[in-house]
Amino acid sequence: MTIVKIPPVLRQAVGGERTVQAAGTTVGEVLGNLCDQHPAVGAQILTPEGDLHKYVNVYVNDEDARLLQWTDTPVGTGDTVLILPAMAGGSR
């Protein structure tokens, strides 16, 4: 099981927890398992097609997952995954 750190914005969606355990061998599987356990998280971080939103950042043990292998990054027991939706927008 991987530890998923939940930022304040997503805590209500997981019943107020700061961390949640999720199963899987890759970042994508772990996030998929998290969204299965807590569908309200999926509503916030996934696109309508079910992909991880481009503006949601994911860190594995403090490393930017996009600089690793993104959703294919291997994870396991003892690893920590942090989800961080971006603060972003634009005038166009």
Partner 1 sequence: MRLTQAQADALVAHARAEFPNECCGLIAGRDGTATRVLPATNAEGTPFMYVMDPREQMQLMDDIETADEDLVAIYHSHTRSAAYPSRTDVELAFFPEPLYVIVSLQQPDQPVIRAFRLTRSAPEGEQVAEETLEVV
Nearest alpha carbon to residue 6 among 18, 23, 22, 21: 18
As measured in angstroms, the least distance from the Cβ of 7 to partner 1 is 7
User: What single letter denotes the amino acid at residue 26?
Assistant: T
Q: Contact at 8 Å (CB) between 82 and 10? A: no
Residues 22-61: x/- map of binding to partner 1 (CB under 8 A)? Answer: ---------------------xxx-------x-xxx----
Which stretch in 25-33, 68-76, 79-87 sits in contact with partner 1 by CB under 8 A?
79-87
As measured in angstroms, the least distance from the Cβ of 59 to partner 1 is 8
What does the DSSP 8-state code read for residue 78? Answer: T
